[in-house]
Structure 1
Amino acid sequence: MAHTIWNSLGCPASSLPIYEASPSLVYNFGHSYEDINCSLCLTFQPEKSPRWPHLAPRSIYTSVAVLMGIVVFSASFVNGLVIVVSIRYKKLRSPLNYILVNLAVADLLVTFFGSTISFSNNINGFFVLGKRVCKFEGFMVSLTGIVGLWSLAILAFERYIVICKPMGDFRFHRKHAVMGCAFTWIWSLLWTTPPMLGWSSYVPEGLRTSCGPNWYTGGSNNNSYILTLFITCFIIPLSLILFSYTNLLMTLRTVAAQQKESETTQRAEREVTRMVIAMVIAFLICWLPYSTFAMVVATNNNIPIQPTLASLPSYFSKTATVYNPIIYIFMNKQVRQGQALTSLSATSVFAFYAGPGIGHTAPALEVLLPTV
């Protein structure tokens, strides 16, 4: 049966999946075969067919299930710890910490709605929860994923405002922190709701064990949405991150040049530079593959891409829920020494950037540390 379906779609026999199975229930997501480009091998089996062709060997699904299981456990632990500790210790409820808690909440939701569902589906080898859950999962993962993405941009911008003082004697208060967190959710809702209303759609992607925006079918409706999403939820936040950290490093370098005799200052500059580079690289590892894949597929529908390869960008973004808190919080020396994340308090915001190896802020750098 699988050969008949594959050949009727014009797919080469060599691309036929190696593994086949007969799940007890298979859902038709309402797309005709012509709706999904055959070169991507993203076809849907009709409900009445007794067999359904898997898009990859069982070992691939098992490997992905193991990866998602590790992500679910690790992300739940580290992000849950951030939230619990922040609630428990009053010192951590400073305005500059709000966006980190917002990031942890977003990462937890991505884990719950994305990684957990993907884990279950990969165990079964297909999307077991049906069309409605597919759309809901695609929406929730996109919503919370973009909230996390923009949280990193807002985090960078807040540090730029506090340390570089482009607005003069600006005092960062609770209302500013709340506004930053609220912006991430409102902005994300603005750009992830349209597929639920007809501007593009949420469909199974890659191995068809998770769902996301429809990069695959082409047409002005889908392509215009993908381009808009690419600009508003990747290019703009990435530009903000690069702008903020570039100015922060320039400010630090200026201070370090004035304090050449201070070994602490020089060491701090090197540590901060490495930390910022790690932050930017982590952001790009997470989101560049996904964004690039979306744009390439949306604008070149005839490019043949194997389903396993098509799934990789999505899993790259899901793993960010684990390394985000590690890079942005737990790499800080004060956290490792059990000082309850106080590196983001008013008197040690610089130590946050310094990451490993910088336990205290040099007095010569206090010019960078306005009281907030």
Structure 2
Amino acid sequence: MRSQSTMELPEDFWIPVQLDTNNITLLSPFLVPQDHLGSIGIFYGLAAFMLFVFVVGTSINVLTIACTIQYKKLRSHLNYILVNLAVANLLVSVVGSFTAFYSFCNRYFIFGPLACKIEGFMATLAGMVSLWSLAVVAFERWLVICKPMGSFIFKPDHALACCAFTWIFALIASVPPLVGWSRYIPEGLQCSCGPDWYTTNNKYNNESYVMFLFGFCFAVPLFTILFCYSQLLYTLKIAVKAQADSVSTQKAEREVTMMVVIMVIGFLVCWLPYATFALWIVNNRGQSFDLRFASIPSCFSKASTVYNPFIYVLLNKQFRSSMMKMLGMGGGEDEDSSSSQSVTEVSKVGPA
């Protein structure tokens, strides 16, 4: 399927196929099922996947927020960013995943052009908050464990400032398409909305916006994550050498190494397909590509509302035991005390 960069396009959508008719509204993704882009089975399969993401993502993020409200021990400043991440994930799940589910069921974006702009903006905003929150989590852990600023103490005000930072940067990234720098249109199989990666339109300067997103919202957070976690692992290596006989320190190193690997992989699974697809489109104008595969990056990013909480919340023993308690499944003092001991061991690793 080929980009129509030379065709005069409507303001609200992009037709990803060659047409034999001048009336391109016949295939409008706001009016008719997009069956020319894929089989009904593909649409319903993606609808089922989006329903799973919506149900599980909404449940686990609501539970994270509810646990934090109910259990005072979870309201530490180091957990603020995890709650911030849960709020962003919940917004993506409720707005993005549910809208995509219902649209895939109907095989076109049934809610109309205005809703497309709103959904594209809200999903991008919350997605950027989620992305920057992952970078802030890494930064927080670097500050607390590696102590690069010596006696500096990370306080609640600092944590709140970090949360505000994620929303400010997310607004910087998501507002431009609303005011003329790029635009929000149906993407992939035309059942969800996002920035216009597809067209070379001088009016919207889409290419420069894509490069801005890649640098500001992918490369910078990725560099932050890799730098902070590499420093964390280096600090732990030094501690293990200094305390070669300490079983608990060696255990802490193994656990943190596994945690870091999982977190980096989770970040790449979430955002690398989206960034790679956007860059490929920008650098291969006029090349054929399958819209079924173009939907995969969007689905992967929305699925982060499920696997991010598993990585950042359910691997946190305090959160896990509190969730089990709230659900009447026990959870207990042993896990709480174990968590406290593990945190203590890791926090002792950095320089005094």
2:95–2:119 Cα contact (<8 Å) kept: yes
Question: 1:93 corresponds to which residue?
Answer: 75
CA distance in 2, matches of 1:167, 1:203: 45
Which ranges in structure 2 are unaligned for 5 or more consecutive residues? Answer: 326-334
Shift of 1:337: 4.0
Question: 2:89 corresponds to which residue?
Answer: 107
1:38/1:165 CA distance change after superposition, 3 Å: same
| Matched AA of 1:88 | Q
Question: 2:254 corresponds to which residue?
Answer: 270
1:215/1:271 CA distance change after superposition, 3 Å: same
Q: Does 1:255 align with 2:236?
A: no
Normalising by structure 2, report the TM-score: 0.86
CA distance in 2, matches of 1:89, 1:364: 24
| Matched AA of 1:98 | Y
Shift of 1:308: 0.6
| Matched AA of 1:256 | V
- Where do residues 86-235 of structure 1 align in structure 2 (5 Å cutoff)? 86-219=68-201, 221-235=205-219
Secondary structure at 2:342 match in 1: coil
- Where do residues 232-251 of structure 1 align in structure 2 (5 Å cutoff)? 232-251=216-235
Question: 2:44 corresponds to which residue?
Answer: 62
> Which stretch shifts more, 241-250 or 296-305?
296-305
- Report Cα offsets for 1:79-133 as digits up to 9, x if no partner: 0010000011111111111100000000000011100000000000101011011
1:259/1:323 CA distance change after superposition, 3 Å: same
| Matched AA of 1:251 | T
2:117–2:193 Cα contact (<8 Å) kept: yes
Question: 2:331 corresponds to which residue?
Answer: none
Question: 1:368 corresponds to which residue?
Answer: 349
CA distance in 2, matches of 1:82, 1:51: 39
Match of 2:315 among 328, 331, 340: 331
1:44/1:369 CA distance change after superposition, 3 Å: farther
1:202/1:363 CA distance change after superposition, 3 Å: closer
1:77/1:52 CA distance change after superposition, 3 Å: closer
Structure with more contact order per residue of length (Cα contacts < 8 Å, sep ≥ 6): 2
Shift of 1:369: 7.3
RMSD: 3.0
Match of 2:270 among 264, 280, 286: 286
CA distance in 1, matches of 2:343, 2:53: 37
Shift of 1:322: 0.3
CA distance in 2, matches of 1:222, 1:297: 11
1:204/1:363 CA distance change after superposition, 3 Å: closer
Secondary structure at 1:170 match in 2: coil
- Where do residues 36-47 of structure 1 align in structure 2 (5 Å cutoff)? 36=15, 38=17, 45-46=24-25
> Which stretch shifts more, 271-280 or 327-336?
327-336
Percent identity over the alignment? 47
1:254/1:233 CA distance change after superposition, 3 Å: same
1:48/1:203 CA distance change after superposition, 3 Å: closer
CA distance in 1, matches of 2:306, 2:323: 21
CA distance in 2, matches of 1:44, 1:68: 32
Which ranges in structure 1 are unaligned for 5 or more consecutive residues? Answer: 1-5, 10-28, 342-350
| Matched AA of 1:238 | L
CA distance in 1, matches of 2:32, 2:143: 59
Shift of 1:339: 8.4
Shift of 1:268: 1.7
| Matched AA of 2:193 | C
Secondary structure at 1:261 match in 2: coil
Secondary structure at 1:330 match in 2: coil
2:120–2:194 Cα contact (<8 Å) kept: yes
1:36–1:216 Cα contact (<8 Å) kept: no
Question: 1:20 corresponds to which residue?
Answer: none
Shift of 1:38: 3.8
2:15–2:27 Cα contact (<8 Å) kept: no
CA distance in 1, matches of 2:45, 2:97: 14
CA distance in 2, matches of 1:48, 1:328: 42
Shift of 1:192: 1.0
1:73/1:369 CA distance change after superposition, 3 Å: farther
Normalising by structure 1, report the TM-score: 0.81
Shift of 1:272: 1.1
